[in-house]
Amino acid sequence: MSLARPLVAALAAAALAPAPARAGAALVARTETSDGGGLAIEDPSGIASLPNGHFVVVDDHSEGSPRFRGENLWELDLAARRSVRAQDLRPVTSEPSDVAFCAQLDALVVADDDALRLLLFSPAGEPRGAIDLAAAGAKDPEGVACDAQGGRIFVADGKARQVLELANDGALVRRLDLSGLPFANAQGIAWDAARERLILVSDEPPALFELDRDGSLVAAQDLVALGARRPRGLALGPASEGRGTSLYVADAGERHVPDGRILEVALGARPAGARVRTALAGDVDGFGFRGDEPGFAQGDLDHDGLLEPGERLPDAPLAEPPRDAGDPPGTDAPVLVGESQPLRIDLPVELGGGEPVWARLTLVVGGARALPGRRSIVRADGRLLGELIPARDDRIVAGRIGATLLELPPAALRELRDGRLRVEIAREPGSGENRLWLDFVRLEVAVAPAAPPARPQAAPKKGGNS
């Protein structure tokens, strides 16, 4: 049974929840973990951030691969795209489903999905013992995270649809029931101490779910448009841009295919009280979309490509729509795009002298089918933002009819200060060419008043007699 429709309900419920507002996600960076050079990890299943700025990644299916080299744990320098060290954990586990660094234990904690236990290692990789998860009621430990301040360990128990909260010695503190949430099982977990949130990732559907400490759903975020295919692990770590914290997602991709990647994602929310300004691009008629074009629901009420009450998916397969006289390229006419032949869109937006603090790009595209290894990507001013969700593909979340919603990362926001966003739709290297129709583009920018210049302070008067 498809879980797309419950996810839409979860997104809607989270959006109506009391403050803080529903979080968004923006792609900051993407690192291929099997690049033929310094990295050779096919199916990353878990990831942890280390105090030295490196990351530890595990692969729980490496042993069955024809390219297996005898390693299933790596310490990576993501900035340099290289492996610092590698380790074979098979003497103690061949199923390292996830890994976390627990500062209170000064240890790497590895979840063993097969033996229902947590394995403890020193940061250098020496074994330090184990915690029995079967005694705590675990059935499928897929993810692990640590709360350094509270001295707790969280275990995402996948198929059992629960989170186990443990003390440092493994004693069960409490159990959070996930059976009411819209995903089959949680694959990875992270603890956000700053906001006191649990963050879960599922692979069906590929999405993030934020929970408060009691397990109530606070926010949900689809990851398909950011390029995720089979996300497995999560870790919070320093942002590569040097400001704040990012969420790092281990995406395994296809099993035993060297297409794994690490996605660096910035979590955020549209600031309350900021004025939203909008730039539109589409048919020359402005809002005159017919509602039967590729990527749109029939009877589209507000011409945004999203499914609303009274609207439905088109029954007919995609077909080239009739062209209106005077339509500019990229609207009703199919456009051929390739790696070196992108479709370029220039979106000016009037900022009114304010500062862009949040921005979201919505693209409705028809004809871009999701074929294995053939992906259309979206760039803004040369920065990768994500991948197109193709129209009428079975991976589309119900309620989004080929609509790709992408939030801009902090660096792209800074580039928006000139009041213009330059968007490109292209193909990834080696993906060939593709025909598509660009039905609708919308850029929403939340603008905050510019900070007043700091007033120079008067020099203090010198004391004493003149």
pLDDT (tens digit per residue) in 64-97: 777 778 889 999 999 988 999 999 999 999 899 9
Greatest mean pLDDT among 42-51, 369-378, 457-466:
42-51
Q: Which residues contact 384 (CB under 8 A, 6 or more apart)?
A: 27, 29, 30, 377, 378
pLDDT at 48 (0 to 100): 97
Terminal Cα distance for the chain, rounded:
89
Residue 442 pLDDT: 81
Read off the amino acid at residue 320. E
Res. 4: pLDDT tops 90: no
CATH of 275-448, picked from 1.10.600, 2.60.40, 2.60.120, 3.40.720, is 2.60.120
pLDDT at 433 over 80: yes
Average pLDDT over residues 27-35: 92
Q: Which of residues 138 and 279 earns the better pLDDT score? A: 138
Confidence of residue 21 (pLDDT cuts 50, 70, 90): very low
Residue 444 has pLDDT above 50, yes or no: yes
pLDDT of residue 259: 87
Q: In this predicted model, what pLDDT tens digit does every residue of 319-337 receive, in sequence order?
A: 555 666 665 555 556 678 8
Q: What is the value of pTM for the model shown?
A: 0.85
Q: Note the pLDDT tens digit of each residue in 263-290.
A: 999 998 888 878 888 887 754 233 334 4
Residue 44's contacts (CB-CB under 8 Å, 6 or more residues apart) are 33, 57, 58, 59, 232, 233, 250, 251, 252, 260, 261, 262
Give pLDDT tens digits for 221-235: 889 889 999 999 999
Check for a shared fold between 4-268 and 275-448.
no
What is the pLDDT at residue 311? 59
pLDDT value, residue 228: 92
The reported pLDDT for the residue numbered 242 is: 85
pLDDT over 80 (residue 37): no
Instruction: Compute the distance between CA of residue 150 and CA of residue 202 in angstroms, rounded to an integer.
Output: 25
Q: Does pLDDT of 184 surpass 80?
A: yes
Can you give the pLDDT at residue 65? Answer: 76
Average pLDDT, the chain: 81
Taking the domains of the chain in order of start, what are their residue ranges? 4-268, 275-448
Domain 4-268 has CATH 2.120.10.30: yes
pLDDT grade for 9, boundaries at 50, 70 and 90 = very low
Residue pair 409/26 in contact (Cβ under 8 Å)? The answer is: yes
Contact between 461 and 386 under an 8 Å Cβ cutoff? The reply is no
Least confident of 41-50, 113-122, 399-408: 399-408
Pairwise CA distance, residues 277 & 275, whole Å: 7
Q: Which of 171, 137, 48, 138 is nearest to 98 (CA)?
A: 48
d(CA 188, CA 168): 19
